[in-house]
Amino acid sequence: MRVLTIAAHPDDETLGAGGTISRFAREGHEVWVCILTDGASARHDHVDQQKSCALQAGEVLGAAQVTFAGFADQRLDAMALIDVIAPIDKCIAELQPQLVLTHFGQDVNQDHRVAFAATMVATRPVASTCVERVMCYETPSSTEWAAPFPGNVFSPNVYMDIGSTLSVKLEAMRQYSHTFSGEVHPFPHPRSYQALEAIARSHGSASGLPAAERFMLVRSVEREGQPNDVA
């Protein structure tokens, strides 16, 4: 199976799906990460350092490739959506993924929302698409901070066992402690090591697993003679 993970910023892929990326890579699946923005320019100019940390995190997780669209941080909502779609289209054309992971469409962060909208267009279910399944991941410090109104709340229906890769996820997150301003925060911030482990353990306890990442299944296309292989 080939898997494409869309991330608005460097570290989103690790926060939302790091354990799953690592698990898929260990199982022999090819996993790519597409990062849309530099994740830094809204705060500082050290974008190369941010990119370097993302590459290191991708290596820890076992991603076969990490690509960068290079858009400005916190500016996706100022762009034409077609321009945000373009790098996602390019990755899909090159990788031909069966599974695409992306942001939840109602996250507090506007870049996450645009990433979701662009992914929905890039993975539209035309007959020629290679994409069989699309799932949204939750991003600690964004998904749970959305206003608790109908439609805004993340409602998971897929739990991925990351009992054997939670430590890898945390190690990948440690790479982001080396960015200029640091993406890891002290507990009880959701992006602290302790919180990330507690979140994974809590999701695991809710699903009979030692640790888990949660997803919302957006679309699943079961082609005749080609059963999906996600779990």
Helix (H) or strand (E) holding 42: none
Q: How many CB atoms lie within 10 A of CB 61?
A: 29
Least confident interval from 106-110, 135-139, 144-148, 223-227: 223-227
CA distance 206 to 128: 38
196-226 pLDDT, tens per residue?
999 999 999 999 999 999 999 999 999 887 6
Residues 6+ apart with CB under 8 A from 20: 101, 137, 160, 162, 165, 213, 215
Residue 227 has pLDDT above 80, yes or no: no
* Domains in the chain: ranges and CATH: 2-219 (3.40.50.10320)
The structure's pTM equals 0.95
Compute the average pLDDT of residues 104-108: 98
Residue 112 has pLDDT above 70, yes or no: yes
* Peptide bond just before 188 cis, omega within 30 deg: yes
145-201 pLDDT, tens per residue?
999 998 899 999 999 999 999 999 999 999 999 887 878 999 999 999 999 999 999
Residue 231 has pLDDT above 80, yes or no: no
